[in-house]
Amino acid sequence: MRRKIVAGNWKMNKSLSQGLQLVDEILSASTSTEVLKIIAPPFTHLTAIAEILKSKADFAVAAQDCHHLPSGAYTGEVTAEMVASTGAKYVIIGHSERRLYAGETNDILIQKLNRALAANLIPIFCIGESIEERNAKTHLEAIRAQIKEALFHLSPNDFGKIIIAYEPVWAIGTGVTATSYQAQGVHDFIRTEINKKYGKEISENISILYGGSCNAQNAKELFACADIDGGLIGGASLKSSDFTAITNSF
């Protein structure tokens, strides 16, 4: 049975001391042990936060990205193996901001997925459509292409390890959220495409998260949808009360 997950992507926010304080506040306020809480802080915080959370079965740490190569002269970059060495267990791959600002292509993302899995990290793979694709009603074709081109090279065993996050690009950091009807429709579509490729057992057991201005006010309605297994949370993960309210929304 697929797990309920709430992942907090801090992006480029919080100093180390601020991050440690936020983790402490979240731990103090957290009451739901059935939901997996994943914290994705900046790279500089990974080791310290992983050490704090290592004994917590309902918490884990993720990196926000990793490089697609195992080593080399790439100043400022971090490999999947380096991420794993910090104690982090997960890594976000293909976030819309990385695709936009770093020009990441499906070829790059395939390499990142392969490196992450080789390092025994669990990828949280992001997909989503632009506002132009949504308005043109080609968003499902765009989603299908992203899944097929970046994920369907994986073996059934490896595919079964990943988490997918659907994040409509037009709802990232805008305050605009897909309606529960819109979000459920895409999540159902994603699960159906996975079923066609890998079969019912894998499609029914993979967690698919919603990301896109999910917050304490709308999480309950979104999480009540049959195919939405949690959220990839941005801004609302930076305040302990909001993040905890979201994790309690199931």
Q: How confident is the model at residue 174 (pLDDT cuts 50, 70, 90)?
A: confident
Residue 213 in tokens: 């201005």
Asked if 97 is an active-site residue, the reply is no
- Which residue in the list 45, 95, 139, 187 is annotated as catalytic? 95
Query: Catalytic residue among 97, 129, 133, 167, which?
Result: 167
Active site (annotated) includes residue 95: yes
Per-residue model confidence as pLDDT tens digits over 11-69? 999 999 999 999 999 999 998 899 999 999 999 999 999 999 999 999 999 999 999 99
Q: In this predicted structure, what is the pLDDT of residue 192?
A: 98
Domains and CATH numbers, the chain: 5-247 (3.20.20.70)
CB 49 within 8 A of CB 81: no
Rg of the chain over CA atoms, in angstroms? 17
Which positions ≥6 away from 129 have C-beta within 8 Å? 138, 139, 142, 143, 168, 169, 170
Nearest-angstrom CA–CA distance, 96 and 74: 22
